[in-house]
Amino acid sequence: MTNPRCGVAAVAALTLAVLTAAPARSEVIGIIGLSGLQAEILAAATSGTPYTFTGTCTDCSGVATATLRLKGYTPGAALTLANLVSFAYAPTNLFSGLGLYGPDFPLLIASGSGAGMLTGSLPAGLPGAADITITGAGFTFTTSLADGRWSIGPTIADTDHGTEGTWSVAAIPEPGSVSLLIMAVGGIAGLARRRRAD
* pLDDT tens, position by position, 108-120: 888 888 888 999 9
Please provide the DSSP assignment of 92-148 as one string.
-SS---EEEE-TT-HHHIIIIIBEEEEEEE--SS-SB--EEEEEETTEEEEE-TTT-
pLDDT digits 0-9 by tens, 144-174: 988 889 999 886 566 888 999 999 997 665 5
Q: Reduced to 3 states, what is the DSSP secondary structure of residue 5?
A: helix
Considering the entire predicted model, what is its pTM? 0.69
pLDDT at 34: 60
14 pLDDT higher than 50: no
Tell me the mean pLDDT in the region 44-53. Answer: 88
pLDDT band at 190 (very low <50, low <70, confident <90, very high): low
Residues contacting 52, CB < 8 A, separation 6+: 65, 66, 67, 68, 167, 168, 169, 170
pLDDT > 70 fraction of the chain, expressed in percent and rounded: 67
Burial 45-76 (b: 16+ CB within 10 A, else e): bbbbbbbbbebebeebeeebebbbbbeebebe
Task: Give the closest residue to 56 by CA, choosing from 129, 119, 122, 111.
Answer: 129
The mean per-residue pLDDT over the stretch 78-105 comes to 91
The per-residue pLDDT for range 121-148, each reduced to its tens digit, is 999 989 999 999 999 988 999 999 888 8
| DSSP 8-state code for residue 82 | G
Arithmetic mean of pLDDT over the chain = 77
CB 30 within 8 Å of CB 187 = no
